[in-house]
Amino acid sequence: MKESTELRELTLHFYRSMAEGDVAAVERLISPEALAIGTDPEEWLRGQALIDAWRAQMDALGGRLPFLPGDPEAFEEGTVGWVADRPSFALPGMGTIPFRLTMVFHREDGEWKAVQSHASVAVPNEDLGQTT
């Protein structure tokens, strides 16, 4: 296993593409059968449903989904790579929302493609099981 500057830069490119509303660039980074698990309990999306959800979210926010990068840690081993980061969303009227993101990549036809991602909003252990 080795650190991957390439996957770190690719992750930062993904964030920029989302923030700029470049859906085509986002689509190029995602494998057709990718699985994304989002922060909402209903966000368990695969393939075209994932792309459609990104588009809907971006449309709802005026064509952009503003990601603020953390400090991505990226590694690779052969044709598989992974990234972990603590980025934030900068949502109008909601401020900055930090979350955690992991992504798994696979080299397909010489290009890295995201095959799985998982985003979560951290909840302190002492708050688990409490209702509001």
Q: Is residue 132 in a domain?
A: no
Structural domain span for residue 67: 2-124
User: CATH number, domain at 87?
Assistant: 3.10.450.50
Percentage of residues of the chain with pLDDT beyond 90: 55
Query: How many structural domains is the chain composed of?
Result: 1
Residue 98: pLDDT over 70: yes
Q: Is residue 129 in a domain?
A: no
Q: Is residue 130 in a domain?
A: no
Q: Is residue 102 in a domain?
A: yes
- The string of pLDDT tens digits covering residues 48-95 is 898 888 788 878 878 777 889 999 999 999 999 999 999 998 877 888
**DSSP labels for the chain?**
-EE-HHHHHHHHHHHHHHHHT-HHHHHHHEEEEEEEE-SSTT-EEETHHHHHHHHHHHHHTTS---EE----EEEEETTEEEEEE--EEEETTTEEEE-EEEEEEEEETTEEEEEEEEEE----GGGTT---
- The string of pLDDT tens digits covering residues 15-57 is 999 888 888 898 899 998 999 999 888 899 998 898 888 788 8
pTM for this structure? 0.88
Q: Is residue 70 in a domain?
A: yes
Q: Is residue 131 in a domain?
A: no
